[in-house]
């Protein structure tokens, strides 16, 4: 197991993985925790993870699973929705990035996942399909519907879908 290889992977992928996790609908704070847990799991399984089509997609998928598990454990205690209405704004956020992330977060779960893997991690359709465990056609259809919705939301803010 090469520490340097994993360290290089982590440094190169951590920001993209975090943005992809947030784009799937996770609260930014939960996304940081889930992504950190996913990287820890990747390190413990690095000989296998490094051979995946996309180790970054493995991390994002694991982060999503960590977040789902976290919510399942707390579902009975909580009365708030799984996803906050809006991302918190930070002074350093670029308005375009913020608006895009908000629009992506309003997409249905499958569409969010496809957009996160295809555009935030820059995976091809075949790898995205493999990582999500769906047919390539499902990725294409989900992406088509997601982009149509995003275009509508980002070009016509008054007509945004809830």
Q: Mind listing the pLDDT tens digit for each residue in 8-64?
A: 999 999 999 999 999 888 889 999 999 999 999 999 999 999 998 899 999 999 999
Question: Is 105 in contact with 86 (CB distance < 8 Å)?
Answer: no
Model-level pTM? 0.58
Domains in the chain: boundaries: 3-159
| Residues in Cβ contact with 25 at an 8 Å cutoff, skipping those fewer than 6 apart | 82, 83, 105, 109, 112
How far apart CA 55 and CA 60 sit, in angstroms, is 9
Could you tell me which CATH class the domain 3-159 is placed in?
mainly alpha
Both tokens of 148, joined, read 């149509």
Residue 49: per-residue pLDDT: 93
Q: What is the pLDDT of residue 96?
A: 58
Give DSSP secondary structure letters for 51-93.
Answer: TSS-HHHHHHHHHHHHHHHHHHHHTTT--S-SS-SSPPP-TT-
Within 106-135, residue ranges assigned H as helices are: 109-115, 125-132
Backbone dihedral angles phi then psi of residue 90, each to the nearest 5 degrees: -120, 145
pLDDT, position 25: 84
pLDDT digits (tens, 9 = 90+) for 106-154: 899 899 999 988 988 888 899 999 988 999 999 999 999 999 998 888 8
């Amino acid at each position: 197991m090469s520490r340097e290889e994993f360290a290089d992977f982590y440094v190169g992928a951590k920001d993209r993985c975090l943005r992809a996790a947030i784009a799937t609908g996770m609260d930014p704070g939960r996304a940081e925790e889930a992504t950190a847990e996913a990287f820890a799991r990747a390190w413990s399984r690095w000989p296998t993870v490094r051979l995946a089509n996309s180790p970054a997609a493995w991390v994002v998928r694991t982060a999503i699973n960590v977040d789902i598990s976290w919510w399942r454990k707390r579902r009975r205690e909580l009365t708030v929705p799984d996803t906050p209405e809006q991302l918190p704004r930070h002074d350093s956020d670029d308005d375009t990035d913020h608006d895009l992330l908000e629009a992506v977060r309003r997409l249905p779960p499958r569409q969010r996942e496809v957009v996160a893997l295809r555009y935030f991690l820059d995976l091809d359709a075949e790898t995205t399909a493999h990582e999500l465990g769906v047919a390539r056609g499902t990725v294409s259809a989900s992406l088509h519907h997601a982009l149509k919705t995003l275009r509508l939301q980002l070009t016509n803010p008054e007509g945004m879908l809830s």
